Every structure is written in C-alpha cells, then in structure tokens.
Amino acid sequence: MSDHQEHIVILPYLALGHMIPFIALAKKIQEKTNFKITIVSTPLNVKYLSSTIAKDSTNSNNISVVSLTYNSSEHCLPPNTENTESLPLKHMVTILNSTLSLKEPLKKLILEIIEKDGNPPLCIVSDTFMGFASEVARSCGTFNVSFTTAGAYGTAAYVSLWLNLPHLLAIDGVFKMPGFDDSCCFFSVEQLHPFMKLANGG
C-alpha cells in the first residue's frame, strides 16, 4: 500500500461569509477522508482562519492554513483591509479585482507543494469568485473545483440562467428554467437582475 496522502488546496474568497462555509467544507473533507488540507488566504485572513480552526481541536491536525503575499495598500485599498467586512461597499469591486494578484503567489505555493509531496494536489477547491484558480490548477497539472457559498437553489437557478438564457424565450414575461421542474417553476423576467435581463449570449 502506498503511503501517499492526497492533498487538497482550498481557496476561499476574501469575505468572512465565504470563509465560514469553506472551513465547514474543509472539516467535512477531513472527517470523510484522510486527505491533507491546506487552506490558503491573505495574511490577515490567515490569522482569522487559523484561530477559528484551532478552536476545534478534533480537526486541526490535518488542516493547515497558509498565507499568500498580499498587501491591500498596493490595490488602492486602505491599509490592512483584506476582507469585505473591513471595507465600505464602494470598494467591493476593487477588492474582488485585487484577488488577481494572488494568482502568482498561489502558483508558487502549488509548485512548492508539488516539490514537497512529489505530486500535484488532488485538486484546488476555489470560490466561484476566484476564477483564476482554474488556470493555476491547469498549469500545475491538477484541476479546480468551484465551490459556491450561496444557497443551492439560487445557485442552480443562477447557473441555469447564464448557461441557457431562458428569459430570451419568455412569453408574456414568464419563462421556464431548464433543469427545474416544469410543473412548479415559472420565473418572471421582472425578477431578474438588470445585467441578466440584458444577457443575450453575445
């Protein structure tokens, strides 16, 4: 039997409301498998993640938390603001955009893991907002799995909307959602976000 232990790298978005479900996910994976788990984030969020995970002594052993280089001041954000909770609403796009600066540090970390483990991690589980993780995963010989922290029903509706654009076939402002039960689920164009209303696949 090989003593190879699978390794999963987890990359939450820079928001506590996203980190909490990612910690829960890490613990679930830990409970069900013998995998090594590394959660990565920025320095201040790593403090939060480490102290939260350390409070649960049953599972801290195989969940490590690693910091990626990040400095909010370099992204037109106030100093030491590394999650959405520490910022006013007007900075939401800026912090989202600033996560692109984590791409190279993430890649460096994955390469270090490959060097140490002798294999790429099994996968990177990344927040939907961290789309760059898929390129990093691909370039390092592994793959990404997107994990969304929103409710399952809303997420399924959102994905179906963007993939299928069913509102373009609305009759009297009402449409059916592919993948949803036809007998119950009619949606109204009026319910859609303005961006979604404009979406036409172009």
Ligand X SMILES: *[C@@H]1O[C@H](CO)[C@@H](O)[C@H](O)[C@H]1NC(C)=O
Active site residues: 18, 127
Determine contact, residues 82/45, Cβ cutoff 8 Å: yes
Specify the DSSP class assigned to residue 133: H
Q: Does 158 bind ligand X (CB under 6 A)?
A: no
Q: Which residues contact 112 (CB under 8 A, 6 or more apart)?
A: none
From the CB of 146, what's the least distance to ligand X, in Å?
5
Q: Does 93 bind ligand X (CB under 6 A)?
A: yes
Which among 53, 13, 10 is positioned nearest to 35, based on CA atoms? 10
Q: Does 34 bind ligand X (CB under 6 A)?
A: yes
From the CB of 183, what's the least distance to ligand X, in Å?
29
Q: Does 100 bind ligand X (CB under 6 A)?
A: yes
Q: Does 92 bind ligand X (CB under 6 A)?
A: no
Kind of pairing, strands 63-67 and 186-188?
Answer: unpaired
CA distance 146 to 130: 9
List the beta bridge partners of residue 10. 39, 125
Determine contact, residues 40/146, Cβ cutoff 8 Å: no
From the CB of 91, what's the least distance to ligand X, in Å?
10
Mark residues 162-201: x for contact with ligand X by CB under 6 A, - for none.
----------------------------------------
Whose Cβ is closer to ligand X: residue 50's or residue 187's?
A: 50
Question: Which residues are near ligand X by CB under 6 A?
Answer: 5, 34, 59, 61-62, 71, 73-74, 93-94, 97, 100, 131, 134, 143-146
